[in-house]
Amino acid sequence: MPRRRRQRRPFIDLQALARAGAATRLYELRDEIAAIHRAFPGLGSGSTHVGRPRRRPGRSPSLANTASAGHARRRRRGKLSAAGRAAISAAQKKRWAAIKKEKANAAKKP
């Protein structure tokens, strides 16, 4: 039985096609936004800004730049002593017991 030769498929640049499709869709969306603004002129108070989100208020620019660059330092937490852990454990158990007691009293009273 003779062997079949494989035919080569033509090269298709999928990335270029995707980019072209995305650009087309972007133009369509901009046209839709313009049509909506024409239909509802009072709606113009909303932002039509396209691009990077604005910096959140309250953060210094230097911290924002270092965090985005991946150079932000992690906050180190102090070690908790055994006595400290025991104190927290006892306080939490006391809190849970009080909650459990409240639930039991609430169930008894109709």
- pLDDT tens digits, 1-50: 677 777 787 888 899 999 999 999 999 999 999 999 889 888 765 555 66
Q: Which two tokens stand for residue 13?
A: 């640049």
Alpha-helical runs (H) found in 40-81: 61-69
Output the pLDDT for position 75.
82
pLDDT digits (tens, 9 = 90+) for 54-90: 666 665 555 555 555 556 788 888 899 999 999 999 9
Q: Are 36 and 27 within 8 A, CB to CB?
A: no
Torsion of CA 21, 22, 25, 30, to 10 degrees: -150
Residue 108 has a pLDDT of 81
**Is this prediction's pTM over 0.75?**
no
Residues in CB range of 44: below 8 A, 6 or more apart: 37
pLDDT attached to residue 5: 77
- CA 61 to chain CA mean position, Å: 21
Say yes or no to pLDDT of 96 above 80.
yes
- CA 103 – CA 17 distance, rounded (Å): 64
CA-CA-CA-CA torsion for 23, 26, 27, 31, nearest 10 degrees? 170
- Is residue 100 pLDDT above 90, yes or no? yes
The rounded radius of gyration (Å) of the Cα atoms in the chain is 32
